[in-house]
Chain A
Amino acid sequence: MTGLKLFSRRILPQLVTLAVVVGLISIMFPGFFEISIANGRLYGSPIDILNRGAPVALLAIGMTLVIATGGIDLSVGAVMAICGAMAAWGITEGYGLGLTLLMALAAGLACGLWNGLLVAVLGIQPIVATLILMVAGRGIAQLITEGAILTFNHEGLIFFGSGSLFTIPTPIIIAIVTGALVTLIVRRSALGMLIEAIGINLRASTLAGVNTRVLLIAVYMASGLCAALAGVIAAADIRGADANNAGLWLELDAILAVVIGGTSLLGGRFSLIASLIGALIIQAVNTGILLSGFPPEFNLIIKAGIILIILVLQSPTIRTMVIFLSPAPVSQADTEKQAVNQ
């Protein structure tokens, strides 16, 4: 019971932020909550937010784990491009859906392995290590697509981008299932705690007997796998692999989602659900701007303004100030009284 209470207190700020952003959009655009069914799948702006937010949500899952270890993965956008290109190439070469997906996911794992080796074995700083693949990755993707947008018409692959299961668009299902699986794995075992231990003190964890090297590599591989899923979705969505633009700057959105979710960039405690809500907040802002009909020159300013407000409200200094300035600090007095009574 207390665990549930703690958990809801943990994700409360993110939920409130999401509610406020969605509320603002529905004031500006009254038809926001209308959901219907078109072509056998749910159709409406809230569905758009979930559907468009799925790639960033997937990236945020991997990114949360990486950031919890005190690292960062700048390469996920480029890995998306590589895996999308791999999927498009595989399907146009006629390898069949199963093998194609396997190749795309394997490419993501390989990219993660590369990052993991640089960080865990060679001891290169994560921001530098993953920068290498961030820069080189698009080149690799371009080699696969030979510089053009590689288009395909394979219904099976397209299903992962614009198909639906029980009227729910596939990307949403993939993101939710991945999120749930990863949460189960890290929270039902000691893995989550070990990842947090690495983030808090790498050397102490090693001395305490944690196999930090293997765990670090595994975390980067998980991030690569998440990026591969996002890359397949992005390519399937437009029925083509665009090496130049697939996942462009999404690594920054993913990091932002984790930060909005309240996980510290210094590593340590993390919350996957809060990161997922963070990803939804970012996409809600994006979709809201598009629905609002403002001229495009304002897009980035509005987005930056909203993010700034969210982060300022989350800042510890502001929180202390709010508590300090609030007229009746009842709760604080109560706890003191309790302490005295005990």
Chain B
Amino acid sequence: MISKKALVGAGLLASMLMMSSSALAQTVGFSQIGSESGWRAAETTLTLQQAKERGIDLKFADAQQKQENQIKALRSFIAQGVDAILIAPVVATGWDSVLEEAKEAEIPVILLDRMVDSSDDLYLTAVGSDLVHEGSVAGQWLVDELGGKDCNVVELQGTTGSSPAIDRKNGFEQAIEGHANIKLIRSQTGDFTRTKGKEVMESFLKAEDGGKNICALYAHNDDMAVGAIQAIKEAGLKPGEDILVVSIDAVPDIFQAMAAGEANATVELTPNMAGPAFDALAAYMKDGTMPPKFIQTESKLYTQADDPQAVYEQKKDLGY
């Protein structure tokens, strides 16, 4: 408790100091969920980078996975009179009153990565990825790569019932629909982890004739794919050749696997949500252009042809 107060206090002090030093620069408050995953750490790094590039004075508040901290941070941003607020909301509900306060103070709020259940006139816009689209980009890659060849696909799902798992599964199924050559023969959850990805892939390989019956693996995230690649290797097969591997997220480790020829493609869930947010904000500040209520980030496909080693070098220091 004490440390939390001390942190908030230190944050306030730091932000007050920063405010006095750069009176001309636009100030934006950013309330981040916390450091729940490598991806989120990269999102924070990129947001700070983007703000620096644009000369924006970014006030950063880490909520340590607690909504009350985010509400506190938002109120303190409002009290400081920032020009805009970015928030990655930890949960979807309970934001109405604090968003109304921001509206009354005429401070535009932009949601990053996650949505809220409040009415959409309470925020300027939301920037995020379309998870269904990610799945269909992965599926489309497989359709194009096969070019009509018969292929049995096994799927490693994310945590059962989680929205990324449901959406990425739907998207993939939409993309392979109508292609009779592609069959989804097995689908199991790997809980988004390497350990489970490896264990489940081991059982897939045994269940499908030592893997001879499997032509491709679709994993809902890269970590499961990395685990599965090890299982494939230990079974004496060549991942990337005997079994094609496509996954989603584009974390640095999958680029190493791609550089080694062991993974074929990954769809990026870009951690750069702040870039489009700042662009929309700049247009809104300049002449009042209202951005659409949802700005979809690009779900970029990376394959072995995209110089994976270079992408790895680029990404490895982002804090993934």
Contact = CB atoms under 8 A, between A and B. Distances in A.
Interface of A: 29, 31, 36, 38-39, 41, 43-45, 48, 52, 147-149, 151, 162, 234, 237-240, 242, 244-246, 248, 287, 290-291, 293, 295-297, 299
B194 A242 contact: yes
B289 to A, nearest CB: 38
Interface stretch (B9-17, B114-122, B136-144, B229-237): B229-237
A290 B188 contact: yes
B230 A162 contact: yes
Interface stretch (B81-89, B196-204, B274-282, B294-302): B196-204
A154 B37 CA distance: 25
Contacts of A299: 160, 189
B171 to A, nearest CB: 18
13 contacts: A38-B235, A41-B234, A149-B253, A151-B253, A237-B195, A238-B227, A242-B195, A242-B223, A248-B193, A287-B203, A296-B157, A296-B189, A299-B160
Instruction: Report whether over half of chain A's contact residues are helix, strand or loop; otherwise say mixed.
Output: mixed
A237 B230 CA distance: 9
Nearest to A238: B194
A254 to B, nearest CB: 16
B300 to A, nearest CB: 22
Interface residues of B, number: 35
B212 interface: no
A38 B236 contact: yes
Contacts, number: 83
Nearest to B186: A293
B194 A149 contact: yes
A43 B160 contact: no
B187 A295 contact: yes
A76 to B, nearest CB: 16
B252 to A, nearest CB: 9
Given A39-B236, A147-B35, A149-B223, A45 B206 contact: yes
A241 to B, nearest CB: 10
Contacts of B186: 293
Nearest to A290: B203
A242 B193 contact: yes
Contacts of B210: 36
Contacts of B189: 296, 299
Interface SS majority for chain B: helix
B206 A48 contact: yes
B207 interface: yes
A38 to B, nearest CB: 4
Given A148-B38, A299-B189, A238 B230 contact: yes
A148 B200 contact: no
B38 A149 contact: yes
A48 B203 CA distance: 8
A148 B41 contact: yes
A29 B41 contact: no
A296 B166 CA distance: 12
B234 A39 contact: yes
Nearest to A247: B195
Contact of B319 (A148, A242, A297): A148
Contacts of B200: 290
Contacts of A297: 160-161
Given A31-B207, A296-B157, 18 more contacts: A38-B235, A45-B203, A48-B199, A48-B202, A52-B202, A147-B38, A148-B41, A149-B253, A162-B234, A237-B195, A238-B194, A248-B193, A287-B203, A290-B188, A290-B203, A291-B203, A291-B207, A295-B187
A151 B255 CA distance: 14
Given A293-B186, A296-B189, A299-B189, A240 B194 contact: yes
Interface string B206-250: 110010000000000001001100100011100000000000000
B43 interface: no
